[in-house]
Amino acid sequence: MNDSGSARFPARRLRRLRTTPALREMLAEVRLHRRDLIAPLFVRPGSGEKRPIASLPEQFQFSPDTAAQAAARLADLGIPAVLLFGIPAAKDPAGSGAWDPAGPVPQAIARIRRQAPGMVVIADVCLCEYTDHGHCGPLAVRPDGATDVDNDAALELLARTAVAYAGAGADVVAPSDMMDGRVGAIRQALDGEGLIHTAILAYAVKFASALYGPFRDAAGSAPQFGDRRTYQMDGRSPRQAALEVALDAAEGADMVMVKPAGAYLDVIQAVRAACDLPLAAYHVSGEYAMIMAAADRGWLDRRDAALEITTAIKRAGADLIITYFAESLGRWLE
Instruction: Considering the candidates 50, 91, 259, 314, report the single residue annotated as catalytic.
Output: 259
The answer to whether 91 is a known catalytic residue is no
- Give the pairing of strands 147-149 and 139-141: antiparallel
Catalytic pick among 50, 91, 206, 314: 206
Q: Is 50 a catalytic residue?
A: no
How many CA atoms lie less than 13 Å away from 190 in the CB half-sphere?
29
Contact assessment for residue 258 and residue 278, using Cβ atoms and an 8 Å cutoff: no
Q: Is 308 exposed, middle or buried (0-12, 13-18, 19+ CB in 10 A)?
A: middle
Q: Assign residue 278 a region: left if phi > 0, alpha if psi is -120 to 50, beta otherwise? A: beta
- DSSP SS3 for 261: coil
The C-alpha angle 193, 196, 200, rounded to 5 degrees, equals 105
Nearest-5° angle of CA 99, CA 104, CA 110? 95
Q: With contact defined as beta carbons under 8 Å apart, do 83 and 330 qualify? A: no
Alpha-carbon distance 44 to 51, whole Å?
10
The catalytic residue positions are: 206, 259
